[in-house]
Amino acid sequence: MNVLSTLLLVALIFVPLERLLARRPQPIFRQGWLSDIICWLVNGYVFTLCLGLLLIGVTMASSWLVPIWVREAVTSQPYWIQIVEVVVIADIGVYFAHRMCHTVPWLWRFHAIHHSTEELDWLSTARVHPLDQFVTRGCALLPVLALGFSEIAIGAYGLLYTWQAFFIHSNVRVNFGPLRWLVVSPEFHHWHHSSDREARDRNFAAQLPLLDFLFGTLYMPRGDRAPSAFGLDQPIPSSYPAQLLYPFQSAPEERPLNTELSSAP
């Protein structure tokens, strides 16, 4: 399935879902929707090309990076075990890459594009600078490619990651109950995008909240509280070409980061 077909399929699922289970009232064609579609289409093809180059490079280097017996042991496992392992390993990579994007000022300039949306929904997933996307996804995929996990396991992870990314950004009110501590939910990720000061720079994991708990960056308030607003303190261009150039311009005013990172109840 190509990039455009995926976008159309996701829209057919999430547009009605957000009408039925909306957490906040907001229009389908909210501000910046066209730029986000362009971003999804262009970045999709760019990332596919970069992933191909990454795969070639890792394949060539893996023979001396990872012993052959390790790669053979990995590929000999049942697919379901490989998929679980890929999810865990890849999400550890995502966690640290994502946290680094919030703490290293130069990387934050790229990642700020994703946080600029003030009306969070499924399409907000697409608002990512291609270099930001490459850093995060590269840190997730490098170890699993080097270890020699099967194409089936990595492909299953890719599908899970993509669909979960759309879901956790979507404007839906879904109660995960106790599972919200095991699987990243819209509630969990909406707090990550919140402009509320106490929630800033928290909830970095893409799939496993346990990582944020272990590393002291979990923020999940008790009760039915929800973020009051999304977005940044600094202005971000709305057009896709301007967003591409934004990180390379004179240093913007940096968003204050939380200096005390500890788990919340």
Taking only the tens place, the pLDDT of each residue in 26-42 is 999 999 999 999 999 99
In this prediction, residues 79-101 reach a mean pLDDT of 98
Domain of residue 192 covers 29-248
Q: Between 115 and 4, where is the model more confident? A: 115
In this prediction, residues 105-115 reach a mean pLDDT of 96
Considering the domain boundaries, does residue 48 fall inside one? yes
Distance between CA atoms of residues 41 and 21, nearest Å = 27
Considering the domain boundaries, does residue 139 fall inside one? yes
Query: DSSP string of 216-237?
Result: T-----STT---S-BS-SS---
Q: What is the mean pLDDT of the chain?
A: 90
Task: Show contacts of 237-244: CB within 8 Å, 24+ apart.
Answer: 238/31, 238/32, 238/35, 239/35, 240/35, 240/38, 240/39, 240/42, 243/35, 243/39, 243/113, 243/127, 243/129, 244/129, 244/130
* pLDDT value of position 55: 74
Considering the domain boundaries, does residue 212 fall inside one? yes
In this structure, is the dihedral angle defined by the CA atoms of residues 64, 66, 68 and 72, taken in order, positive or negative? negative
Instruction: Tell me the per-residue pLDDT of 170-197, one tens digit each, with 9 for 90 and over.
Output: 999 998 989 999 999 999 999 999 999 8
Number of domains composing the chain: 1
Tally of residues, the chain: 265
Residue 255 has pLDDT above 70, yes or no: no
Please give the model's pTM, rounded to 2 decimal places: 0.91
Considering the domain boundaries, does residue 265 fall inside one? no
Considering the domain boundaries, does residue 164 fall inside one? yes
Considering the domain boundaries, does residue 242 fall inside one? yes
Considering the domain boundaries, does residue 19 fall inside one? no
**Is 135 in contact with 55 (CB distance < 8 Å)?**
no
* pLDDT value of position 165: 97
Considering the domain boundaries, does residue 2 fall inside one? no
